[in-house]
Amino acid sequence: MSTIPTHSAAPGFQRLTAHYQPPDDSHDELLTPGREPRTHWRPLLDSLANLGPGEIRRREESAVRILREHGATYHVHGEDGDPVRPWELDLLPLLVPAAEWRVVEQGLAQRARLLNALLEDIYGPQRTLREGVLPPAMVHANPAFLRSCHGLRPSKGLHLVRYAVDLARSPDGQWWALSDRSQAPSGAGYSLENRVVASQLLPNEFYLSQVRQVAPFFDAERQALRRLAPRPEGEPHVVMLTPGPRSETYFEHAFLAGHQGFTLVEGEDLTVRDERVFLKTLEGLRPVDVIVRRVDEHYCDPLELDATSCLGVPGLVHAVRARTVAVANALGSGAVEGASLLAFFPSLCRFLLGEQLLLPSIATWWCGQAREMSYVLENLESLVIKPAFPGLKRQPVAGSRLSAADRDKLRARIQDNPSEFVGQEQVRLSTTPVWEQGVFAPRPLVLRAFVVLGDAGATVMPGGLTRVAPSRDDALVSSRTGGASKDTWVLADPEHPEPPASLPRARRRSARVPLQAGEVASRVADNLFWMGRYAERIEDGGRLLRCALQRLAGENFQTDNPELSGLTALLRHLGVLSERSGARVGA
């Protein structure tokens, strides 16, 4: 193990950062306004300086190889390009000091409790509407509000079990919430994969930085989901419902299901009989207690929700109503994902929790209110216009990038349907270094943080999924538009150091657990059976073709060879050769 120096800036580090020039009008994670390295970065920088550009490049290449071997991908379904995109990891982590994260952690936990209380209210007594805290249109005009789920109280009263927030820094270094993910939040699995790879390739740096571990978070998530089971007796059977391999985050579904010990299923693997959900297996129907859904709620039940869905389970809402199965997150939880709700967070927090909001949201104006709409229309050039509710098929539009004619058209659309639009301030994202062509380069970042709600309260992942933009001038940070990801290192409190970091224990255990016959869905077994049949058919056809080609080549070729005629007839009968091909061979 190499020795890590204690000086603040080695000459090697100066070479790495010689071309690192972050913007002057935004917060930079690495450098202070005086262009000096921040204190919590210095041990890592000194270690990287000792490694040198060549070794860092070699480890970056190793990261690409490991991710490829693990099958880490992100599916992008568009018109151009390969829909399967390899997952990209920039080996330089994002570092967050302990004191700073402690404040963010409290805000995230409060935000999760707030949204759970709001869901409990809008699907129950609706006090927020009756007492004027929320305008009625915020719920009744929201396409994500599921009327068929009104009155359904989920297991343990937990509408939200898994919750995520996209965070960004303002130019003064303040963390802000950009958006909430309450329906089926993605990214935790990719964050875990990043941690596995980064801790493997930077073990010395990981240990000396005293990075907080993420394994306790996944343990808490597993326990919270298992405790949702409506049956108090026996071992709960938890399944993860996925749309299938065409889902953009299917790698994460399979990875997390294996890590947590859950059965990965698709909608056709499940059936509802006598108000209970069952998994169809080789050994018959097996009761399901908890469904961790990665399918959007509208597609979960074609009987009561979207009748065109082929991804859900017919009768699932009825089974939830009968309290024989728990669904996490609860059906209807997507109603609090909309950008319009951000404008009401402070008043909602005071009304529902009796607390002041700890983690502020980005400034938002909902156009469903007359004064707010007037402000948005008058300041269109300086705002970003977004859809107010989830499910509205509109892309965010920056008013500053529109021509005068296009801004007039946008004003007209807002005036026609004001409740469907919000205006938000344009955020100058903070920057963090990425490794690019042997030096550090600044890139805008967004951090997705994760929270689990359970019986014992909220558990926040000490870290998250950091995503960076493809270029320094790109204002949009999204996995769909490209760019890389980073591991997020939340540093331990010096007064309460963590034990030496290790890979998540559950992941190593799950690799040794044999697959039971009763855990194999009948759909999977049926697909394996037909794959085997077709594989045998291809092999048999190949052997017959080889025999025919051997008799067509060489000096022993004879057109009237009875073996060749028989092989030709057999290949034509099996469909390997067409009628015309068979006629030419036998001629």
pLDDT digits (tens, 9 = 90+) for 107-166: 999 999 999 999 999 999 999 999 999 999 999 999 999 999 999 999 989 999 999 999
Q: What are phi and psi of 124, to 5 degrees?
A: -130, -115
pLDDT for 56 beyond 60: yes
Do the strands 383-387 and 364-366 form a parallel or antiparallel pair, or are they unpaired?
A: unpaired
CA gap 582, 445 in Å, rounded? 62
Strand runs labelled E in 216-282:
238-241, 263-265, 270-273, 276-281
DSSP state of 76: -
336's tokens: 């609090």
Single pTM value for the model: 0.86
401: left (phi over 0), alpha (psi -120 to 50) or beta: alpha
CA gap 528, 514 in Å, rounded? 18
User: What is the 3-state secondary structure of 126-184?
Assistant: CHHHHCCCCCCHHHHCCCCCCHHHCCCCCHHHCCCCEEEEEEEECCCCCEEEEEEECCC
> What mean pLDDT do residues 263-282 have?
93
Q: Which 3 state secondary structure label does DSSP give 289? A: coil
CA gap 59, 448 in Å, rounded? 25
Average pLDDT, the chain: 87
CA gap 28, 22 in Å, rounded? 7
pLDDT for 375 beyond 90: yes
CA gap 335, 144 in Å, rounded? 5
> What mean pLDDT do residues 417-429 have?
92
Q: What pLDDT, on a 0 to 100 scale, did the predictor assign at position 85? A: 76
Residue 482 and residue 235 in contact, taking contact as beta carbons nearer than 8 Å: no
Q: Which residues contact 16 (CB under 8 A, 6 or more apart)?
A: 45, 48, 49, 53, 439, 440
pLDDT for 274 beyond 80: yes
pLDDT for 326 beyond 90: yes
Residue 399 and residue 380 in contact, taking contact as beta carbons nearer than 8 Å: yes
> What mean pLDDT do residues 39-59 have?
89
Q: What pLDDT, on a 0 to 100 scale, did the predictor assign at position 498? A: 67
* Least reliable range by pLDDT among 71-85, 92-106, 280-294, 486-500: 71-85
* Residue found by looking up tokens 């950009």 in the block: 178
pLDDT for 244 beyond 50: yes
> What mean pLDDT do residues 258-268 have?
93
pLDDT digits (tens, 9 = 90+) for 530-548: 888 888 888 888 888 888 7
> What mean pLDDT do residues 290-306 have?
94
Residue 111 and residue 185 in contact, taking contact as beta carbons nearer than 8 Å: no
CB atoms within 10 A of CB 4: 14
pLDDT for 252 beyond 90: yes
Q: What are phi and psi of 382, to 5 degrees?
A: -105, 5
41's tokens: 């970065």
> What mean pLDDT do residues 66-81 have?
74
Q: Which 3 state secondary structure label does DSSP give 14? A: helix
Residue 423 and residue 364 in contact, taking contact as beta carbons nearer than 8 Å: yes
CA proximity to 449, closest of 220, 253, 182, 167: 167
- Give the residue with greater pLDDT, 299 vs 544: 299
CA atoms 539, 541, 544, 548: torsion sign: negative
What is the chain's Cα-based Rg? 28
CA gap 129, 150 in Å, rounded? 14
CA gap 168, 186 in Å, rounded? 18
- Give the residue with greater pLDDT, 509 vs 383: 383
pLDDT digits (tens, 9 = 90+) for 442-494: 999 999 999 999 988 999 999 999 999 987 777 677 766 667 899 999 999 87
CA gap 279, 289 in Å, rounded? 10
